[in-house]
Amino acid sequence: MSHQIAIVGSGPSGLYVAEALAKLLPDSSIDVIDRLPTPYGLVRGGIAPDHQSTKNVSRAFEKTLSRHGTRFLGNVEIGRDLSYDELKAAYDVVVLSIGSALDRTLGVPGEDLGGVYGSAAFVGWYNGHPQHHDLAPLLDGKALAVIGNGNVALDVVRVLAKTPAELADSDICLHAARAIAAGSLTDLYLIGRRGPVEASFTPKELGELGDLERCDVIVDPRQLPDDVGPEVPEKEVKVKQRNLEILREFAAREHGAKPMRIHILFYAAPVAVLGEHRARAILLDRTRIENGRAVPTGERLELPVDAVVVAIGYLTAPFAGVPFDEKRGIFANDEGLIEPGVYAAGWCKHGPRGVVGTNRTDAQGLVQRILSELDQSPERDGKPGGAEVDRLLRERGVNVVDFAAWKRIEEAEVARAQGGKPREKFVTMDELLAAAFSKAGVE
Ligand code: NAP
């Protein structure tokens, strides 16, 4: 039987669901809807521009999107161009895989000062997300603090620390590459509220900080425990031990020869960002770990900085009609089920964790569930599907970017890239749509 399926969000979680559904329901019609004219979600807009090999997964996603029976409907926003109710009325199954586009905030005084940025905005800026390309972060000071001990925090310090030559074969957007090259930062502080064992870095990403051309990495050996300790779950011991080894190697290094420094500070929890209009310092509580939590020791540290990037995780953007779990910042769901016929996949289902590939296993599990529930609910079959949605979008004058139009954007981005860059992204909706519907491509 042919099923009408909509997947909202064309990032890894959505496209792995599309892949698994296409395999198990080869006759189904699958519409992958995205508010951007470009597919692949975090692969384009989140993964660091100097991690090109991780972006190769988009070749597999391209196959998924170009399968007969699967369509890409870019530049279509649920809530603006189509309502959630219209979506449910049109499709037998709706999968929401919109990720977590909003920054989690510290909730401390001064977070709204100039020079303080969330990592979604900051990463979106250097990766050319249309919503964040014009962030224009203040990089004119000497010191910048990145709050958080996850891989996003590492991405941010590494990209800021790299020389133009080190970024030459990345796809960092021109505006960001120029701003970083013109910036005057000399000291980047990577700040964790807990210790090195609790940090959620992965060793490969941590190790990369040790290979930077113009930047030393400074770690206080007194902050490094001798061992990971008994609390660490068995499956994480190796990774934590490797992180400790890397940090010990950093701590043992001579430094002073390079013009920039990354200081890795553990046991420091932000209490306030200080400044009048713009950040001039960050106030930190020194902490110790009790039952796995960071508790203040009573000692405080005022660290002069000129800008702050808060990289402490993300929240899903709620949308009208979909039940939301405010505490966790995800769609309220029971193992992926939001309501009959509607499912959540990826970060909007379980929060921002895991790497791209984690979504594949998750997607396969979710699709098994979708299939068994489809079998039990024949009354859901027979919805009008994409034809009805096409009619509504036409009526509303929406310029849908289909797969061919996305390929025109991609080709134009590759064609205009200079030097060793794989692409020079278009960063505004106007530029993207102009490339999508360029006469040369359409005729
Ligand atoms: P993450 O790994 O969850 O790290 C968040 C960090 O923020 C943690 O160190 C956390 O500390 C800290 N934090 C949370 N609330 C805080 C607060 N109020 N004050 C101070 N610190 C606070 O998240 P992420 O870095 O955003 O990454 C998201 C996911 O993407 C992760 O699975 C990550 O591995 C993945 N990713 C992977 C790569 C890669 O593989 N190269 C690159 C980027 C992202 P606590 O632990 O104390 O809560």
Cβ of 329 closer than 6 Å to ligand 1, yes or no, is no
Q: Is the minimum distance from the CB of 353 to ligand 1 under 6 angstroms?
A: yes
E strand or H helix that includes residue 393: helix 386-395
Those residues with Cβ within 8 angstroms of residue 332's Cβ, 6 or more apart along the chain or in another chain = 323, 324, 325, 338
Q: For 334, which DSSP code?
A: B
The finding on whether 311 has its CB within 6 A of some atom of ligand 1 is: yes
Q: What is the largest CA-CA distance in the chain?
A: 71
287 lines ligand 1 (CB under 6 A): no
Question: In this prediction, what percent of the chain has a pLDDT beyond 70?
Answer: 98
- Least Cα distance to 89 among 389, 345, 394, 393 occurs for 389
Of the listed ranges 205-214, 263-272, 380-389, 428-437, the least confidently predicted one is 380-389
Nearest CA to ligand 1 atom 7: 312
Ligand 1 pocket, residue 293 CB under 6 Å: no
Q: How far apart are CA 442 and CA 438, in angstroms?
A: 6
pLDDT of residue 320: 84
For ligand 1, atom 13, the nearest C-alpha belongs to 312
Distance of CA 127 to the CA centre of its chain: 10
Region 415-441: mean pLDDT is 92
pLDDT at 377: 72
Terminal alpha carbon distance of the chain: 37
- How remote is the CA of residue 152 from the centroid of ligand 1, in Å? 6
Q: How far is the CA of 153 from the centre of ligand 1 (A)?
A: 7
31-39 average pLDDT score: 98
- Distance in Å, CA 324 to ligand 1 centroid: 22
Instruction: Characterize the bridge pairing of strands 314-315 and 102-103.
Output: antiparallel
With a 6 A CB cut-off, is 355 part of the ligand 1 pocket? yes
Ligand 1 within 6 A of CB of 147: yes
Q: Is the CB of 354 under 6 A from ligand 1?
A: yes
Whether 149 lines ligand 1, by a CB cut-off of 6 Å, is: yes
Q: Give, for 66, the enclosing helix (H) or strand (E).
A: helix 57-66
> Could you tell me the distance, in angstroms and rounded to a whole number, from the CA of residue 60 to the centre of ligand 1?
27
Counting atoms of ligand 1 from 1, which one is nearest the CA of 312? Answer: 7
Residue 50 in tokens: 């100097």
Other beta carbons within 10 angstroms of residue 204's beta carbon come to 12
At residue 440 the predicted structure's pLDDT band, cuts being 50, 70 and 90, is low
User: What average pLDDT does the chain have?
Assistant: 95
Q: If pLDDT is split at 50, 70 and 90, which confidence band does 2 have? A: confident
Helix, coil or strand: residue 118:
strand
Which pLDDT band holds residue 319 (cuts at 50, 70, 90)? confident
Q: Give the residue whose CA is nearest to atom 9 of ligand 1.
A: 149
Calpha distance 60→225 (Å, rounded): 42
* Number of the ligand 1 atom closest to the C-alpha atom of 294: 47
Q: Which of 149, 293, 359 for mutating ligand 1's site (highest number of atoms within 8 Å of CB)?
A: 149
DSSP state of 60: H
Judged against a pLDDT cut of 50, whether residue 248 lies above it is answered with: yes
CA distance 275 to 112: 10
Q: Is 200 in the pocket of ligand 1 (CB under 6 A)?
A: yes
Amino acid at 69: G
Band (pLDDT 50/70/90 cuts) for residue 376 is confident
**Quick one: tokens of 150?**
């996850």
Helix (H, G, I), strand (E, B) or coil at 19: helix
353 CA closest ligand 1 atom index:
32
- Nearest in space to 340 (alpha carbons), one of 96, 99, 92, 97: 92
Compute CA distances 435 → 37, 39, 107, 401, whole Å. 10, 15, 40, 10
Residue type, 417: A
Residue 95 φ/ψ, nearest 5 degrees:
-115, 120
Atom 21 in ligand 1: which residue has the minimum CA distance?
148
- 77-109 pLDDT, tens digit per residue, is 999 999 999 999 999 999 999 999 999 999 999
Whose CA is closest to 54, among 364, 347, 357? 357
Instruction: Determine the Cα–Cα distance for residues 324 and 348; give it in Å rounded to an integer.
Output: 10
Q: pLDDT-based confidence at 375, cuts 50/70/90?
A: confident
pLDDT at 380 (0 to 100): 58
pLDDT of 222 higher than 70 = yes
pLDDT one-digit tens code per residue, 400-425: 999 999 999 999 999 999 999 999 99
If one residue of 193, 194, 308 were mutated to test the ligand 1 pocket, choosing by the most ligand atoms within 8 A of its CB, it would be 193
Residue 374 — pLDDT band, cuts 50, 70, 90? confident
200, 208, 308, 347, best to mutate for ligand 1 pocket (most atoms within 8 Å of CB): 200
Look at residue 373 and give its three-state secondary structure. helix
CA 340 to chain centre: 29
pLDDT at position 378, please? 62
Q: Check residue 148 and report its DSSP letter.
A: -
> Ligand 1: does its nearest atom lie under 6 Å from the Cβ of 128?
no
Q: Which of 23-32, 319-328, 371-380 has the lowest mean pLDDT?
A: 371-380
- Does pLDDT of 443 surpass 80? no
HSE value, Cβ hemisphere, 13 Å, CA-based, for 133:
16
For 155-171, write each residue's pLDDT tens digit: 999 999 999 999 999 99
pLDDT in tens, 324-370: 999 999 999 999 999 999 999 999 999 999 888 889 999 999 999 99
How is residue 68 annotated by DSSP? Answer: T
The total of other beta-carbon atoms located within 10 Å of residue 195's CB is: 18
Q: Looking at residues 307-322, what average pLDDT do you find?
A: 95
Residue 47 main-chain phi, psi, to 5 deg: -55, 140
Question: Which residue's alpha carbon is at the smallest distance from atom 36 of ligand 1?
Answer: 151
- Give, using CA atoms, the residue closest to atom 29 of ligand 1: 353
Dihedral sign computed on CA atoms, order 324, 328, 329, 334: negative
For the Cβ of 410 lying below 6 angstroms from any atom of ligand 1, the answer is no
Residue type, position 332, single letter = A
